[in-house]
Amino acid sequence: MEAMAEKRILVVEDETRIADVLERYLRAEGFATERATTGRRALELWRAFQPDLILLDLMLPEISGIEVARTIRTRSDVPILMVTAKAEEVDRLLGLELGADDYITKPFSPREVVARVRAVLRRAGGRGRAQRIYRAGAIEVDLDAFEARCGGQPAALSPTQLRLLAALAQAEGRALSRHELLDQLGEAYVDVRTVDAHVKNLRRRLGPCGALIETVRGVGYRLRVN
């Protein structure tokens, strides 16, 4: 089993029973945890605890999980795993458009949550292992430094967004299907249609460079090379 010792997980959940179970399973796997039961407290602990990943329930008192995610994404690329009791696709996509790296719906298995946490942390933790810089037009993706630039200006991307952009840049103008992009991201649990939400959010984060990501009807997406 892959070790994730000393990784800090912020569990944001207002249902005590669920939070207790999640923390127990995460701690058994070697994670350090802190708990917030309101959106306001989640933002306080995000600043003070500096977690490596946030397990964020959408339905929270005081400040909703959506607003918490929106606030965090303006200042940080910390991985966010959304938790929701609503199974409608619009809720799932909304979380991803806000910059969430994955989502899970209630009821869920605590073991599956741990597996999702590990998967997201692996994607976010690949910073030191990558050795190449990809360039396409005005876009530059440096996986070694784990950063991206648009026309020389830094672009604040989440780990999932950066890996998606790297996959598109590496293809050098070739169209990639949604399945290919999911394979690149390692998102075994996510429906291929959520790639659309990732791309939409990525385009917004890239500003003027977002237009370089073209939709190829019936296939997927392509990063245009000038």
**pLDDT tens digit string along 153-167?**
999 888 888 888 988
Which range is least confidently modeled, 17-21, 86-90, 102-106? Answer: 86-90
Domains of the chain, each with CATH number or no CATH: 8-124 (3.40.50.2300), 133-223 (1.10.10.10)
According to DSSP, residue 177 is labeled E
> What is the β-pairing status of strands 153-155 and 139-142?
unpaired
Can you tell me the mean pLDDT for 124-138? 62
Q: 24 — phi, psi (to 5°)? A: -65, -45
In the chain the first and final C-alpha atoms are separated, in Å, by 44
pTM of the model: 0.60
